[in-house]
Structure 1
């Protein structure tokens, strides 16, 4: 097997970033447990207990040590291991050799870390369109990369050929892809994983070094048993010596904990050694240390306790079934012939959203009219698409939502 240098994937920034071994964090860890410890910048009472406000602690039914102290920069070790254990349960084909997840302050923070580690200003990031608008904010405006968008669909299926053609035409030997399934905004999970992986393997065999970022924010929320139930990351993590896969996920959508801001970065690669994984984990921790110092102790412990709960699996399945019900109710309404002359429902089978391609109507005009005349909110995407979050609308209100939408179409077409 060919051995790769980690620098083959890293950006110039990524090569520079490191975890400050020997700095304050390390020195504090070395002094932990000593009778006199004047290292860490927290305040203790006369018995060595963190000073705190009782009015705050009365609001949280957790031990003080799970709430107020700083967390490890890499994340709480027990949470990292528990997240990896669940990842393996949900992805049985995941190779034995992957990194231990590093905690980030939400999935967006993880994406920002990836942009820093793997792209330099002007570098292309290949992505399917339509895509989540915050990618542009993170990769382009914040870190200076350039999103190279390829239409997601060709004849109702993921357009693997156009994506791979675009990659082949790149003059760079290191190519970064950002793939998001279930997709935001379309709610689509691809069934073409085999052809995609085969094409990426062929590109790597031709000499390209590939970093494939898997935004798994909505992982697990598929509503058709025929769809892939595992993350694309599981296949990419052992695909080719020149492919480094990165799983960006978190509690945000998977665990219905949007405001806790707990995300994870996990790496997998066929030629990636244990030492390289440790290096990558440290570089992510170096990014975290320089950006937000560390992630919330309280949020991490809440997620950890949830993952270990005896009712966890049952509660998740209950929520998924509710979203599945809303998804199918939305589909049943939107396939009715009355919508055909106004819009096309883009392929969808998962996630929180569905997306409509408008015919001869302006998306912002539709959004504004729907909001002002029918007290109904949706999201306009560009000039000709709208996104509907069926996840946030009670099932009994879905018919009214789509009736209002149809009335808006008629009003603007008259």
Structure 2
């Protein structure tokens, strides 16, 4: 029997696209009116004292050891060691929402939810899988794709990862995508994950391809299918060619059709070069959804967060909040982005001027990576490169070898890629 609080949220979402897309766990989950909720109420109204949250207070502030504080003296004790709210620091959530609108002008006039802070983008994807995926609800994803998708969807959620072919004719395989989406739509539901710039290929769609991707989703929605689109924007903004769709596709899907629910998965991890902060955001957008609907989805997310990690890291959120207010951050980001672009151009120059009977560079134009389609076993090639040349690469599957040019100095690129081609030729 469902908890009354879960039933209350389900009632709020009744007859909406997100309500129909929920998994078995998504239907069961809720945010309890337990310690956290009662503590928030006490914080607001407990003027004499607040004996709710398990932290040590001295003179009204969190106690902090000097051995800890001395390494981040500019941050207050509260910014360093206090618990953050389950959904994240309110000012950070509001600021990130403003940044989403700023980076995606196509969202102007469209209502989206307030981003919920999650402990990294991987956790965000896992929480979405909890909400919307179960044994009867598969997820559609490109092939090749990041191996963690399979671990989350197939191993954790005991579901299936359906795939479409990512590339055809040196670009996005629109025909394969269309066929796969329409096949899913035959069940009445489409759950699809799009990751641009893509891991492992380092590809983002052109403006024309993006328009067709949106058209395909709109078409099945207009025919009655309920569509959930996950926009994994981990590498957002790292585009190195002119004819790339400049925004997140979330800007298109967030108000596309009443039958479409879009989720943006993003954060400062890659965008702001803070990989170990483990701070990400989940943001919902759907035509016709109200603040009440978004709040219900937020509370279900909070239930998942509360029942797993309780809350995300406070120091990471505090530092991010301060960094975003620093007027120098944009210049600093441009400098790092230029380093990545220079490395990308160097790799592009090499792969454009070299051929191999056993390697084919997949299309790439953005992000941190590029990949080869191999005519030999990718794992055997990886081992050969590692043991003969002492160079690390990643075998994504039997026919895909990923190279992270993000971690190569520009001066290393010719040496590394020459070694990769030499090893491939000798197999």
- Give the TM-score of the pair, scaled to structure 1: 0.95
Residue number in structure 1 paired with 2:281: 264
Tell me whether 104-113 or 302-311 shows the greater mean CA deviation.
302-311
Is 1:373–2:388 an aligned residue pair?
Answer: yes
Deviation at 1:194, TM superposition (A): 0.8
Residue number in structure 2 paired with 1:343: 359
Residue number in structure 2 paired with 1:18: 30
For residues 321 and 76 of structure 2, the distance between their equivalents in structure 1, rounded to whole angstroms, comes to 14
- Checking the alignment, whether the CA contact within 8 Å between 2:203 and 2:366 is kept in structure 1 is yes
Secondary structure class of the residue paired with 1:149: strand
Residue number in structure 2 paired with 1:37: 50
Residue number in structure 2 paired with 1:67: 80
Note the alpha carbon deviations across 1:239-286, whole angstroms, 9 max, x for none. 111000000011111111111100000000112111111111111111
For residues 39 and 358 of structure 2, the distance between their equivalents in structure 1, rounded to whole angstroms, comes to 63
Deviation at 1:5, TM superposition (A): 5.4
Secondary structure class of the residue paired with 1:298: helix
Deviation at 1:410, TM superposition (A): 3.2
Deviation at 1:6, TM superposition (A): 3.7
Note the alpha carbon deviations across 1:274-326, whole angstroms, 9 max, x for none. 11111111111111111100011111011111111111111111111110000
1:44-83 correspondence runs (5 A): 44-45=57-58, 47-61=59-73, 62-83=75-96
1:6-405 correspondence runs (5 A): 6-20=18-32, 22-32=33-43, 33-45=46-58, 47-61=59-73, 62-94=75-107, 95-170=109-184, 171-191=186-206, 192-337=209-354, 339-359=355-375, 361-405=376-420
Deviation at 1:381, TM superposition (A): 2.1
For residues 396 and 20 of structure 2, the distance between their equivalents in structure 1, rounded to whole angstroms, comes to 36
Residue number in structure 1 paired with 2:8: none
For residues 161 and 269 of structure 1, the distance between their equivalents in structure 2, rounded to whole angstroms, comes to 26
For residues 188 and 299 of structure 1, the distance between their equivalents in structure 2, rounded to whole angstroms, comes to 29
For residues 340 and 408 of structure 1, the distance between their equivalents in structure 2, rounded to whole angstroms, comes to 10
For residues 125 and 34 of structure 2, the distance between their equivalents in structure 1, rounded to whole angstroms, comes to 26
Structure 2 stretches lacking a partner, 5+ long: 1-14
- Checking the alignment, whether the CA contact within 8 Å between 2:17 and 2:258 is kept in structure 1 is no
- Checking the alignment, whether the CA contact within 8 Å between 2:17 and 2:260 is kept in structure 1 is no
Tell me whether 214-223 or 60-69 shows the greater mean CA deviation.
60-69
> RMSD of the alignment, in Å?
1.3
Secondary structure class of the residue paired with 1:335: helix
Deviation at 1:206, TM superposition (A): 1.0
Tell me whether 87-96 or 261-270 shows the greater mean CA deviation.
87-96
- Checking the alignment, whether the CA contact within 8 Å between 2:356 and 2:425 is kept in structure 1 is no
- Give the TM-score of the pair, scaled to structure 2: 0.92
Matched positions, count: 406
Deviation at 1:113, TM superposition (A): 0.8
For residues 26 and 34 of structure 1, the distance between their equivalents in structure 2, rounded to whole angstroms, comes to 17
Tell me whether 86-95 or 26-35 shows the greater mean CA deviation.
26-35
